[in-house]
């Protein structure tokens, strides 16, 4: 078995597969990646048990074959090679010889028998693709919403993923929450045949890998596989060069639409940059256990302040246009900064009905993106 490939192309090809294999925490065999070398292309497969990534690339193949190699070390070797073409060859003792065709440089890496890799991962699941979405749109959505997922220590696993809510109208809403804050992005999908009305939750880790490989334009095909009881078993995301098959998270996602305030009696229009800088400065003094900062809304200004019994206090005034009854609200400042960090608008609206009610954040420039968060109790 032997093929040649450009070093930069090979490194880019391997990155998502190695990322998946490296995240495996269960089976030792899954720390390896599987290579299928066909007549005019190579297919590389990696899995962590929860989701599987397959990438394909056209290369110059001299001899076909398969091999299984430790992902981390192989990737480190490829990254260390100089620019130019790389030769990958399987020797008679089944080791893999990696050569740079630009310099007198060679690595020999041991492999393990390909028969040891789980067959169910290698078998391609027959999937009828149900709908497609824009790669660039989904890439943007994942970047915006990933901050608002719960971490892996969450009591309920459903809060660690992205809800896909597909409606028969062609609308597709994506939602993430850690129970204290929530991001919602209103988008759309194109059905392959009939419109779809279904909800499923995809692990955030899956979409993190998907975000890395999505392009700025072009379609992404999505297929849904069902169990016998017609519940969603797994979801497959596919482009011509990469396929990601992922399990879904079981559990009931909260009714996000009921959480979103339909009307707010108080709202302010605020400069994104000015508030971000003010919060960063004032939060230097904040208690790091609570991250508590006070936001006092007045007629034409927002006072951002905090006090710390041990260190001292700080405050800064940010101009704003406020409509409603003056009020002050306690907030975890990181909840504000995380929103501002992914907002692509010069100014935004901050709305609320009471000092302990859910707060709503949105902008005219990004009407599809809405964020809500709960304040701290006084």
Q: What is the pLDDT of residue 25?
A: 77
The CA distance from 350 to 302, in Å, is 11
Please name every residue paired with 221 in a beta bridge, in sequence order, or none if there are none.
Answer: 132, 238
**∠ CA(313), CA(319), CA(323), 5° rounding?**
110
Q: What is the pLDDT of residue 153?
A: 67
Residue 154 has pLDDT above 90, yes or no: no
Taking Cα atoms as reference points, which of 340, 306, 300, 344 lies closest to residue 321? 300
With beta carbons less than 8 A apart as the criterion, state whether 49 and 26 touch: yes
> How sure is the predictor about 26, in pLDDT bands with cuts at 50, 70 and 90?
confident
The CA distance from 224 to 198, in Å, is 10
Q: What is the pLDDT of residue 128?
A: 78
Dihedral over alpha carbons 244, 84, 216, 185 (to 10 degrees): 50
Q: What is the pLDDT of residue 126?
A: 66
The CA distance from 266 to 273, in Å, is 21
CA distances (Å), 208 to each of 8, 154, 214, in order?
Answer: 22, 18, 10
Structure tokens at 55: 């990438």
Q: Of all residues in the chain, what percent carry a pLDDT higher than 90? A: 87
The CA distance from 290 to 68, in Å, is 48
Domains plus CATH for the chain?
2-122 (3.10.150.10), 129-258 (3.10.150.10), 260-373 (3.10.150.10)
Express each pLDDT in 232-278 by its tens digit.
989 999 998 899 999 999 989 999 999 999 999 999 999 999 999 99
End-to-end CA distance of the chain: 68
Q: What is the pLDDT of residue 125?
A: 63
With beta carbons less than 8 A apart as the criterion, state whether 302 and 323 touch: no
Q: What is the pLDDT of residue 105?
A: 95
Express each pLDDT in 55-78 by its tens digit.
999 999 999 999 999 999 999 999
The CA distance from 321 to 360, in Å, is 16
Q: What is the pLDDT of residue 310?
A: 84
CA-only gyration radius of the chain, Å: 25
Taking Cα atoms as reference points, which of 71, 59, 68, 98 lies closest to residue 16? 71
Taking Cα atoms as reference points, which of 336, 267, 343, 246 lies closest to residue 20? 246
Average pLDDT, the chain: 94
Q: Of all residues in the chain, what percent carry a pLDDT higher than 70? A: 99
Q: What is the pLDDT of residue 309?
A: 81
**∠ CA(135), CA(176), CA(324), 5° rounding?**
110
The CA distance from 254 to 261, in Å, is 15
């Amino acid at each position: 078995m032997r093929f040649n490939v450009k070093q930069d192309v090979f490194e880019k090809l391997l990155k998502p597969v190695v990322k998946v294999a490296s995240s495996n925490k269960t089976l030792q065999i899954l720390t390896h990646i599987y290579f299928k070398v066909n007549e005019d292309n190579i297919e590389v497969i990696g899995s962590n048990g929860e989701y599987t990534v397959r990438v394909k690339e056209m290369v110059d193949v001299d001899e076909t074959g398969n091999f299984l190699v430790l992902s981390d070390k192989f990737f480190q070797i490829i990254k260390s090679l100089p620019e130019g073409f790389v030769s990958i060859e399987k020797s008679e003792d089944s080791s893999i010889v990696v050569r740079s065709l630009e310099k007198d440089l060679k690595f020999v890496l041991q492999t393990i028998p390909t028969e040891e890799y789980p067959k169910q991962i290698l078998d391609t699941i027959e999937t009828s693709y149900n709908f497609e979405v824009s790669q660039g749109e989904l890439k943007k959505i994942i970047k915006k919403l990933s901050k608002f997922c719960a971490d892996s220590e969450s009591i309920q696993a459903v809060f660690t993923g992205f809800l896909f809510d597909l409606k028969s109208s062609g609308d597709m809403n994506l939602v993430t929450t850690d129970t204290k804050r929530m991001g919602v992005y209103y988008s759309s999908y194109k059905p392959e045949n009939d419109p779809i009305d279904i909800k499923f939750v995809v692990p955030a880790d899956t979409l993190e890998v998907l975000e890395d490989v999505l392009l700025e334009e072009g379609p992404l095909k999505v297929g849904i596989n069902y169990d016998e009881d017609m519940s969603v078993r797994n979801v497959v995301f596919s482009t011509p060069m990469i396929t990601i098959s992922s399990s879904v998270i079981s559990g009931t996602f909260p009714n996000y639409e009921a959480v979103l305030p339909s009307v707010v009696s108080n709202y302010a229009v605020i400069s994104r940059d000015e508030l971000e800088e003010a919060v960063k400065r004032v939060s230097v003094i904040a208690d790091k256990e609570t991250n508590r900062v006070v936001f006092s809304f007045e007629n034409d200004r927002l006072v951002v302040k905090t006090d710390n019994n041990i260190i001292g206090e700080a405050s800064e005034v940010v101009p704003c246009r406020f409509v409603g009854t003056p009020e002050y609200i306690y907030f975890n400042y990181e909840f504000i900064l995380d929103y501002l960090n992914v907002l692509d608008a010069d100014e935004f609206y901050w709305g609320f009905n009471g000092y302990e009610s859910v707060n709503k954040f949105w902008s005219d420039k990004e009407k599809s993106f809405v964020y809500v968060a709960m304040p701290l109790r006084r």
